[in-house]
Amino acid sequence: MNYTSISHRTLGVNFTPFGEASVILWAPLLKDAAIQVVGKEKLPLQKQEYGYWQLITHQIQPGDRYKFVLNGEKEFPDPASLAQPEGVHGHSEAMDITDFPWTDSQWNNIPLADYILYELHTGTFTPDGTFASLAEKLDYLKELGVNAIEIMPVAQFPGSRNWGYDGVFPFAVQHSYGGARGLQQLVDICHQKGIAVVLDVVYNHLGPEGNYLGAYGPYFTDKYNTPWGNALNFDDAWCDGVREFFIQNVLMWFRDFHVDALRLDAVHAIKDFSAVHILREIKIRVNQLMKKTGRTHHLIVELDLNDPKFINPLEEQGYGMDAQWIDEFHHALRVTATGEQTGYYSDFSGIGHLAKAYQDAYVYDGQYSPHRFKKFGLKAENNPGQQFIVFSQNHDQVGNRMLGERTSELVSFEMQKLLAGAVLVSPYIPMLFMGEEYAEPNPFLYFVSHTDPDLVEAVRKGRKAEFAAFHALGEAPDPQSEDTFHRSKLQWDLITQDQHQVLFRYYQALISLRKQHPALKQLNRQQLDVVYNEDTKTLLLHRWHENQHVLCLMNFSNVLQPVTLPTYAENWQKLFDSADLQWRGPAGTPNSITSGRAISLQPESLIIYRNE
C-alpha cells in the first residue's frame, strides 16, 4: 500500500473512483483498531507495515458519521477527519473531497513578487463570520487593489470563536465557517476574480482541547518543548508517520482545495534534527505535485531566526521556502513612528534600523541583540525582495497588545498614511491587516470559546499574568467572552464615512502606483539606496529600474523638516504626496523640483518623486 501518494489523499476515510471507502489509520502502538459508523456494525481494520491500519469497504458512504475504536475500548474522532460537524469531541463525517465542481481550470497563480496581501480572520471579517459572507466582500478587496488574501487558520477548533491557532484537526475545515465545501467554494470564486488564496497553517503545535492525536500514537515528543507544550514529533522514534501526516496535509490544501500558498506559523518552533528537515521534505513533495499538476504553489513561513537557510533554494542546501514574514521591518517602523520601546521593541532604535530593514531585510544579521543577550542572525545578501513580506500591523502585533489596539487608535491620521506608504514603497511584498485601509477603530482582541471550564480559567489567568505590568490600563478583556469576539469585528458601515473613505482611497492610490511604476513594482534589493537623518527623523529611499528612478521622502517627526534632493538626476516630477489636500493633508509640495534643492517635508508625511 502506498501511503505517500502525491495524486490523492491516503489518510483517514477517502473514496475510490469505484465507490469504495478506503480507510487508513496510522497508530503504530495499538493492538487493535476498528471503525464504528453510526447506525452500522463495527468494522475491524487490518494491521499493515510501518504502523498503518487499513480497510477497503462498501459499507461506508459520504455523509456517514464515525469514530475509530482503539484497542476495543475507547472511541475517538479521526485524526485525519475532513469534517467535524459536532465539534472537536464529536463524530467525524466521511466526505469525498475530490467531487467539487471546480471552474478555475484557466487560473494561474499570480507571481509571488506581484502579491498585494491582505490578512483576514474569517470570523471577524464580516458580521456572519463565514466563507460565504467573505466571498461577498471580494469585489471590495479587488477595488482596493488586493490580489491575494491570507486567511488565518481554519483547521477545526473548539467552539466557534478562536484565532485559529488552537486547531486540533489539521484536515478538517472549521464547521462554523462553512466547512470544506465552503472553503472550496470561496477559493473557486477568488480565482474567478483574479485573487490568490493563502492559507495560514500550524505545524508547530496543536491546541489543548480536543487534541486526541496522542491517543493514536507518538505524534508528540518530550525531547523538546514549545511555548505551547510538547513539540510535534518530527525526528524521534516513529516520526515517519507524523511527518507523512503533515506532508499529506500540505498536499491536500494545494491539490484538493486549490489553495495558492500556505503561510506556515512560527516555523522556528518546529524542532527537527533529521538529516532532511521537515520543511525541506515538504518543499520536495510540493515540487513533485507542481510538476504533476502544472500549477504553482508557494510556501511562506513565519520565522523568528533571521536565518536565510530557511528561504535558500534546495540546491543550495536550504529548506526552499519561497518567502518569510519579516517582523523586524514592522518593529523598526513601529519604533520610528511611536517611540515605543518596551519588550521586543527594545532592540530597535528607530529610523536607523528602518533604513537597515529597507537595505538588508534583516535588522539583526550577526550583531549583538540586547533583548536576547547574544549575537543574532545572518546576512540575507542573495535573497530577492520577493522573499520578504512586510507590514505595519498584523494579527499578532495588534492582538497581542492587552487592549488589541489597531494603529488607527495609536497614531495620528497623518502617521497612518505615512506607515502605509512606508510599507507600499518597500522592495518587499506588502501585507495589509483587515480594516487598516479605512482605519477600523475596533480592536482585534484575543478570543476563544473552549468548553472545558478549567482550560477557560487557565487561559484567563495566563492572559492576566501576561499583562500584569499594564494593570494601570485596566483589566485584560476576557478571552472567553462572546463580547470580546464581537468587539473585534469590522464595522463595514464606516468605509463610506469621512476620513475612513479618504484613507481607503489613499491606500487604493498607493497600491495602484506601486503596480504601475517599474521602479516600485520590481523587487530588486540591489537597485536601492537609503539615506536617513536621526535628528530630523527623515528618510530618503531611492529605488530604480532601468531608466526609471523613484525617490520616496519620509518625515516621521511631528514638525516641518527640510530635505535636499540628491543629484541622481536633474529634474524630479511628483507622483504622490500624503500631505496633499485630497488626502486631508496640511499642504502639498511642488509638482516638479530640481536636484540639489531643499524642500520642506510636512510633519508625518511621505512624498514620492519620479525621474525617467
Distance between start and end Cα atoms, the chain: 63
172 is in an annotated binding site: no
330 is in an annotated binding site: yes
267 is in an annotated binding site: yes
131 is in an annotated binding site: no
205 is in an annotated binding site: no
Q: Which SS3 state, helix, strand or coil, does residue 522 take?
A: coil
CA dist., res. 395 & res. 112, Å (int):
21
Active site residue 265: yes
397 is in an annotated binding site: yes
Active-site position among 260, 272, 302, 440: 302
Alpha helices in 386-524 (DSSP H): 395-399, 413-424, 453-466, 482-487, 498-516, 518-521
Q: Closest Cα partner for 431 from 400, 399, 388, 398? A: 388
Q: Closest Cα partner for 217 from 202, 231, 237? A: 237
Angle between helix axes 498-516 and 413-424 (nearest 10 degrees) is 20
276 is in an annotated binding site: no
In DSSP terms, 606 is beta-bridged to 554
C-alpha cell read off for 273: 534534527
Q: Which helix (H) or strand (E) holds 394?
A: none
263 is in an annotated binding site: yes
150 is in an annotated binding site: no
C-alpha cell read off for 326: 519579516
Half-sphere exposure of 536 (CA within 13 A, CB side): 19
CA dist., res. 576 & res. 509, Å (int):
9
Instruction: Give the sheet arrangement for strand 21-26, strand by strand.
Output: 12-15, 21-26, 52-57, 46-47
**DSSP-derived pairing of the beta strands 148-151 and 117-120:** parallel
86 is in an annotated binding site: no
C-alpha cell read off for 7: 495524486
Residue 385 has a CB neighbour count (10 Å cut-off) of 21
Is the alpha carbon torsion for 158, 160, 161, 164 positive or negative?
Answer: positive
Active-site position among 265, 322, 414, 436: 265
399 is in an annotated binding site: yes
- Three-state SS for 349-386 is CCHHHHHHHHHHCCCCCCCEECCCCEECCCCCCCCCHH
C-alpha cell read off for 56: 477497503
400 is in an annotated binding site: yes
232 is in an annotated binding site: no
Active site residue 580: no
Q: Which residues are annotated as a binding site for substrate?
A: 263-268, 327-331, 395-400
Give catalytic residue positions. Answer: 265, 302
Q: Which residues are annotated as a binding site?
A: 263-268, 327-331, 395-400
